[in-house]
Amino acid sequence: MIIQNDQRRGPEPITTREAQAWLCIGPDKGRDFWETQRWSTHQELFWEDLWMLIGLAPCQPSAFIEELKRPLWETKKVAEYISKTPKVVAAWHKKSTYPTGFSSPALVVGPRKKLWLPIEVEAYRHGQHFTQIAKSIRRRRGQESPRLRQTTEPLVTLDPLTE
């Protein structure tokens, strides 16, 4: 739900299971994740919390709310969607070199787990229409879309091996 005026959050909190599905993590990695974020599994969690975690603004245009609730994509799904092998996508990340227009992962959960926003991957493959949508997603103040800033750094890294 979009945040309107002084309303800070949507009316319904999401479950830990829904959050884990969005993040493509199971219960074990989920416990580590919640601990890293200093969130309790009993604490109420809202979509806005997850969006802010990956650098998005908590207030999004209503047209994008359902799009942003789609689960993040893992390397395998990204590779399949853009007709590459997972090894190619992993090599891009390892070398910090991405093709023009391809975004860095929104979240790095572990040494082998990188997650992308589906709309940004779709923008790379399909061009103009999806690119306009991806550019319209509101970022937190001072953070541009990975597609616009062309950086190779993820917005959030939970990988203890990465500095």
Q: Are 21 and 72 in contact (CB under 8 A)?
A: no
pLDDT in tens, 44-97: 888 888 888 888 888 888 878 888 899 999 999 999 999 999 999 999 999 989
- Of 105, 107, 111, give the one whose Cα is nearest residue 79: 105
Answering whether pTM is above 0.95, one says no
pLDDT in tens, 28-45: 888 888 888 777 767 788
Asked whether residue 86 is assigned to any structural domain, the reply reads yes
Asked whether residue 5 is assigned to any structural domain, the reply reads no
Asked whether residue 93 is assigned to any structural domain, the reply reads yes
Average pLDDT, the chain: 77
Q: Are 89 and 142 in contact (CB under 8 A)?
A: no
Q: Are 53 and 117 in contact (CB under 8 A)?
A: no
In sequence order, what are the beta bridge partners of 156? 107
Asked whether residue 1 is assigned to any structural domain, the reply reads no
Residue 140 predicted with pLDDT over 80: no
Asked whether residue 2 is assigned to any structural domain, the reply reads no
Residues 6+ apart with CB under 8 A from 49: 39, 58
For range 118-125, the mean pLDDT: 87
Asked whether residue 106 is assigned to any structural domain, the reply reads yes
Structure confidence at residue 10 as a pLDDT band (50, 70, 90):
low
Number of domains in the chain: 1
Question: Range of 82's domain?
Answer: 10-163
**Which secondary-structure segment (H or E) carries 31?**
helix 27-36
